[in-house]
Amino acid sequence: MTEPLRIALIDDEELIRSGFAAIIGAEPDLEVCAQGADGVDALNIARSGRVDVLLMDVRMPRVDGIEATERITAELAERPKILVVTTFDNDDYVWQALRAGADGFLLKRTKIEDLLAAVRLVARTDAVLFPESIRRLAAATAKRSEAHPGIADLSEREREVLQLAAKGMSNTEIAERLYLGRETVKTHLSSVYTKLGVRDRTQAVIAAYDSGLV
C-alpha cells in the first residue's frame, strides 16, 4: 500500500483543529502532518513542500484563508491542493476562494464521510466536479476586474459621477441626484475623460464596464 496522504489543518480554533485531526488521524490512508492558526502559518507549511492537501479556514486573524490561498498559488509552483472550509456557504466566499485558486470548498457542517471523500478526491484528481476549467473561467472573469490603471486614480466624486453616467443618466439627472450643479458634473466627467484617456461619455461608460466598476 502507498504512503498516506499528508494533510495540513489551518484554523484559528484549537478545538476545530483537534476535531479534524482526530477524524483524519483515524483513517489509515490519511495523516495530519501539520497544523496552523492563520494564513501566515499556512504559507509556511505550504512552502515546506511536504503536504498533499491543505484544509483552510476562511476567517482567521492576521491573514485570512482567501488571501493565504492567493499567496500560495501565486508563489508556489508545486503547491498542495487547497480545500477552503467555512461555516456558511456565503456566495462571496465561494467565489473568492475560486478566484484565489482553491481546489474546493467545504462546509464545516459537512458529514464526516463526505469530508474524507472530498479530501481523497481532490488529492488524487483534478478532473472531477468542476475543477481546472472552472478555475480558469473564474480567473478570466477576475482578471477583467483587475489591473485597469485608469480607473484607480479617479477621485471619489469622479467615480461616483461615472457610475451614474454608466446607469444611463444625463448630466442634469446626475446633478440632481448628487445635489450638484450641472456644470460641476460636466467638470468631473471631463477629468474622468482625460484620466481614462477616452473621448466622450460613451467610451467612459465602456471603460467603466470593462474595468468592473459596473
Partner DNA sequence: GTTCGGCTCCCCCGGGAGGGGGAGCCGAGT
Partner DNA sequence: ACTCGGCTCCCCCTCCCGGGGGAGCCGAAC
Question: Rule CB under 8 A: which of 36-75 touch a copy of itself?
Answer: none
Does position 106 interact with a copy of itself (CB under 8 A)? The reply is yes
Which of 75, 155, 206, 214 contacts DNA by CB under 7 A?
A: 155
Which of a copy of itself, DNA, none has residue 106 at its interface (CB below 5 to 8 Å by kind)? a copy of itself
Please state, in angstroms and as integers, the Cα–Cα distance from residue 128 to each residue in 79, 103, 106, 113, following that order.
Answer: 19, 11, 15, 18
Q: Which is nearer to DNA, 79 or 195 (CB)?
A: 195
Element (H, E) at 165: helix 156-165
* Angle between helix 182-196 and 171-178 (nearest 10): 110
3 state SS of 36: strand
Q: What is the DSSP string of 133-163?
A: HHHHHHHHHHHTTS--HHHHT--HHHHHHHH
Which stretches of the chain bind DNA, using CB under 7 A?
Answer: 153, 155-158, 170-172, 175, 178, 180-184, 186-190, 193, 199-202
The residues that touch a copy of itself, with contacts defined as CB under 8 A, are: 89, 91, 94-95, 98, 104-107, 109-111, 113-114, 117-118, 120-122, 124-125, 127-134, 136-137, 165-168, 170, 198-203, 205-206, 209
